[in-house]
Amino acid sequence: MVALSGVNLRVERGEFVFLVGASGAGKSTLLKLLYREETATRGQILFNGRNLGRLHPSLVPHVRRKIGVVFQDCKLLPNKTALENVAFALEVTGASGREIRRRVPAVLELVGLSNRLRACPHELSSGEQQRVALARAIVNNPAAVIADEPTGNLDPDTAWGIVGLLDEINRRGRTVIMATHAQGIVNRLNRRVVALVEGRINRDDRQGGYGHGPF
Amino acid sequence: MGLFRLFARGFREAFRGIAANSVLSLASVSTAALTLAVLAGFLVAAANVHHLATVVEGQLQVRVYLEDGLPEVDLRQLEAHIAGIPGVVGHAYVSQEEALERLRQYLGDDRFILEAVEEANPLPASFEIDVLRPDLVERVAFELKDQPGVREIRYSAEVVRRLLDLTNFFRLAGLAMAFLLTGVTVFIIANTIRLTVFARRDEIAIMKLVGATDWYIRWPFVLEGIVLGAAGGGVAALLAAGGYRWLFRFVVERLPFLPLVRPEPMLHNLTLVLLAIGALVGVVGSQISVRRLLEV
Ligand SMILES: Nc1ncnc2c1ncn2[C@@H]1O[C@H](COP(=O)(O)OP(=O)(O)O)[C@@H](O)[C@H]1O
Ligand SMILES: [Mg+2]
């Protein structure tokens, strides 16, 4: 079966894009193509001018470091503290110990977790866990952050906290692409909205909303 | 990245993996140890037979062992007879005491082994007879076979060829056995590491997501394989060294004329070889189990 077809999308550096659509519309698939979890059977995907489909496997890690990814299930390591979970992402890039000690507490402070550094995921609320995941996504100073339904598991207030952080991250110059069903969030933020229907782009508004209703 | 940190992390992760499935790790090390001990056995046997061959080969010589307490008259008569055989270019009498002294020198630091036999010297006196050409050796031996006072005659030629054949057999058999058993070891190590890989699949997925290179992800598993394999090699080396030292002492005490290879430096080299092969087997085993990690 075909998950996506005829998709033609250009996102500028520093943009904030909502990717909306029903379950199974192809949002996750499109995002996976962007961080090269999947490769397209046809067409091409360019990131910073690089064709991801033609990328040599040894270069994939280096592209990944330029893209922070956040998921609905935070994908934190359960037996590591918030600090260690974030440090992990920096360690694998070969950052120095000094660099890690400097940057990790700083990003955790940015997401408002200065007082929870030594807590393990099971000691954190879902919202706090998602903040740790966000901190991990940005600790490498990526050009873009991709969030696949990051608020899917959260209550409205907590969800707003996460979206507020993504907005902040975007204001600091990073491109943010967020897949979501949350109509309230999309409507209130009033940013670019790309709507997928059955694997095709059905609508692309520079500033738009998404249906009606609070969430 | 700092090489030291890379190593430290690799070892930390490797030992974490080994500790996490200690039973299978132990099985891996045991199999590797068993395999390499078998290989060591064949290698040591080959080394000894080869040594024996060179010892024998070095002698264009017939050695006539004499009965103990042979009267001076018989000795003189035998000596005269030897000197008269065509093809004999020289001969020397080796008394029991001299034989023991030679053995002492050959043993060097291990000569304390002989303390037990100082009282009753078990070594026979002998004549060493130098022969002109290899094809005359057998004739000389035949001439002396039935002389009074002669206990036993030893000579080389044919023996050397058989010994060298035997050396090759031990080497080939050792290699074949080792090859077969190594397959089993690689399989078990690969499965042990596969278990570690499975236990860490979430961690690996996250590592990939945040941009870890393949080598960074693989390295701890490769180290885990090296540690398991080399540990097996170490155990095998201990077994081989202990076993051979015991055998050497045993043989020197009871069959002092049998020229065994001295334990050092052979065992030292053997240890290095076993560690290296163990590590190599570990690398191969780990590569098999992490190959699939490459697929993103
Ligand atoms: N790994 C997969 N293998 C085959 N089909 C898949 C896979 N993942 C998703 N799909 C299909 O692709 C389509 C798009 O899925 P997805 O991108 O996950 O949609 P969304 O994230 O918008 O809910 C769906 O029809 C889904 O069933
Ligand atoms: Mg999805």
**pLDDT single digits (tens) A63-121:** 999 999 999 999 999 989 999 999 999 998 888 889 999 999 999 999 999 999 999 99
pLDDT given for residue A213 in this prediction: 45
Domain boundary among B154, B189, B212: B154
Asked, for residue A147, whether it belongs to a domain, the answer is yes
Is residue A75 within 8 Å of residue B206, measured between CB atoms?
yes
Residue A213 within a domain: no
The encoded tokens of residue B256 equal 């002092």
Q: Is it the case that residue B271 has pLDDT exceeding 90?
A: yes
Split at pLDDT 50, 70, 90, the class of B70 is: confident
Percent of chain B surpassing pLDDT 70: 92
Which residues fall within 8 angstroms of residue A122, CB to CB, at 6 or more apart? A78
Say yes or no: B182 and B278 in one domain: yes
Q: What CA–CA distance (Å, rounded) separates A180 from A167? A: 14
Do residues B49 and B72 share a domain?
no
Number of domains in chain B: 2
Look at residue B171 and give its three-state secondary structure. helix
The answer on B147 and B104 residing in a single domain is: yes
User: For all residues of chain A together, what is the average pLDDT?
Assistant: 91
List the strands of the sheet with B126-131, edge to edge: B88-94, B126-131, B61-66, B150-155
Res B144 pLDDT > 50: yes
Q: Which residues of A162-185 are buried (b: 16+ CB within 10 A; e: fewer)?
A: bbebbbebbeeebbbbbbbbbbbb
Please tell me whether residues B48 and B67 are part of one structural domain.
Answer: no
Task: Note whether B121 and B267 are same-domain residues.
Answer: no
pLDDT mean over B195-205: 86
**Assigned domain for A135 exists:** yes
Whether B242 and B270 map to the same domain: the answer is: yes
> Could you read off the pLDDT of A35-78 as tens digits, one per residue?
999 888 888 999 988 899 888 888 999 999 999 999 999 999 99
Contact A181, A7 (CB under 8 A): no
Tell which residue, A164, A161, A178, has the closest CA to residue A68. A178
What is the least distance, in Å, from the CA of A127 to any CA of chain B?
Answer: 20
Quote the DSSP letter at residue B240: H
End-to-end Cα separation, chain A, in angstroms = 30
Cα of A40 to ligand 1 centre, how many Å? 14
Percent of chain A scoring above 70 in pLDDT: 98
Among the partner-chain residues A37, A75, A93, the one whose CB lies closest to the CB of B296 is A37
Q: Is the model more confident about B128 or about B57?
A: B128
Q: Cβ of B2 and A96 within 8 Å?
A: yes
How confident is the model at residue A89, as a pLDDT?
93
Instruction: Chain B: give the shortest CA distance to residue A90, in Å.
Output: 8
What is the predicted pLDDT for the residue at B229? 92
One domain, residues B180 and B220: yes
Give the one of B9, B202, B213 whose C-beta lies nearest to A61's C-beta: B213
Interatomic CA distance for residues B37 and B42, integer angstroms: 9
Give B296's pLDDT tier (boundaries 50, 70, 90): very low
Closest ligand to A22 CA? 1
For residues A136 and A65, the answer to whether their CB atoms sit within 8 Å is: no
Confidence (pLDDT) at A110: 92
Task: Dump the DSSP string for chain A.
Answer: --S--S------TT-EEEEE--TTSSHHHHHHHHTTSS--SSS--EETTEEGGG--GGGHHHHHTTEEEEESS----TTS-HHHHHHHHHHTTT--HHHHHHHHHHHHHHTT-GGGTT--GGGS-HHHHHHHHHHHHHTT--SEEEEESTTTTS-HHHHHHHHHHHHHHHHTT-EEEEEE--HHHHHHH--EEEEEETTEEEEEESS---SSS--
Contact at 8 Å (CB) between A131 and A111? Answer: yes
| Chain A closest-CA separation from residue B209 CA (Å) | 7
Q: With a threshold of 0.80, does the pTM exceed it?
A: no
pLDDT value at position B109? Answer: 73
Across the range B60-86, mean pLDDT stands at 87
Are B100 and B197 contained in the same domain?
Answer: no
Residue B240: count of CB within 10 angstroms of its CB: 23
Which of A175-184, A191-200, B12-21, B265-274 bottoms out in mean pLDDT, i.e. has the lowest? Answer: B12-21
Residue A4 lies in a domain: no
pLDDT of residue B157: 63
Lowest mean pLDDT among A150-154, B19-23, B291-295: B291-295
Q: Which CATH number do you get for residue B70?
A: 3.30.70.3040
Range B27-50 average pLDDT: 86
What is the A28 CA–ligand 2 centroid distance (Å)?
4
- Residue A61, chain B, CB below 8 Å: the answer is yes
B3/A contact by beta carbon, under 8 A: no
What's the number of domains chain A is made of? 1
ipTM above 0.85, yes or no: yes
> Is residue B183 located within the same domain as residue B40?
yes
Determine the average pLDDT of the residues in B8-29. Answer: 82
Picking from A15, A73, A70, A52, the residue whose alpha carbon sits closest to that of residue A206 is A15
Looking up tokens 């990328």 gives A55
- DSSP E strand boundaries for chain B: 61-66, 88-94, 126-131, 150-155
The confidence band for B58, taking pLDDT boundaries of 50, 70 and 90, is: low
Calculate what percentage of chain B has a pLDDT beyond 90.
18
- Return d(Cα B189, Cα B32) in angstroms, integer: 9
In a domain, A139, yes or no: yes
Of the candidates B130, B154, B178, which is a domain's last residue?
A: B154
Q: Is the pLDDT of residue B175 over 90?
A: no
Q: What is the pLDDT of residue B240?
A: 93
Query: Is the residue at A70 inside a domain?
Result: yes
Checking if the pLDDT of A215 tops 50, the result is no
Angstrom distance (rounded) from CA B27 to CA A16 = 55
Asked if residue B170 and residue B136 are part of one domain, the reply reads no
User: What residue numbers bound the domain in which B276 lies?
Assistant: 3-55+160-294
3-state DSSP helix/strand/coil percent for chain B, to nearest 5?
75, 10, 15
Q: Is A149 left (phi over 0), alpha (psi -120 to 50) or beta?
A: left
Range of the domain at A47: 16-205
Distances in Å between the Cα of B195 and the Cα atoms of A34, B21, B190, B192 are 31, 8, 9, 5
Q: What is the pLDDT of residue B57?
A: 65
pLDDT value of position B113: 72
Indicate if B80 and B135 belong to the same structural domain: yes
CA distance A210 to A193: 8
Query: B59-70: buried (b, 16+ CB within 10 Å) or exposed (e) per residue?
Result: bbbbbbbbeeeb
Residue that terminates a domain, selected from B111, B132, B154: B154
Map residue B92 onto helix, strand or coil. strand
Do B167 and B37 fall into the same domain? yes
CATH number of the CATH domain containing A114: 3.40.50.300
- How does residue A20 score in pLDDT terms, banded at 50, 70 and 90? very high
Mean pLDDT, chain B, rounded, equals 84
Instruction: Determine which of A28, A36, A37, A64 to mutate to test the interface with B (most B C-beta atoms within 10 Å).
Output: A64
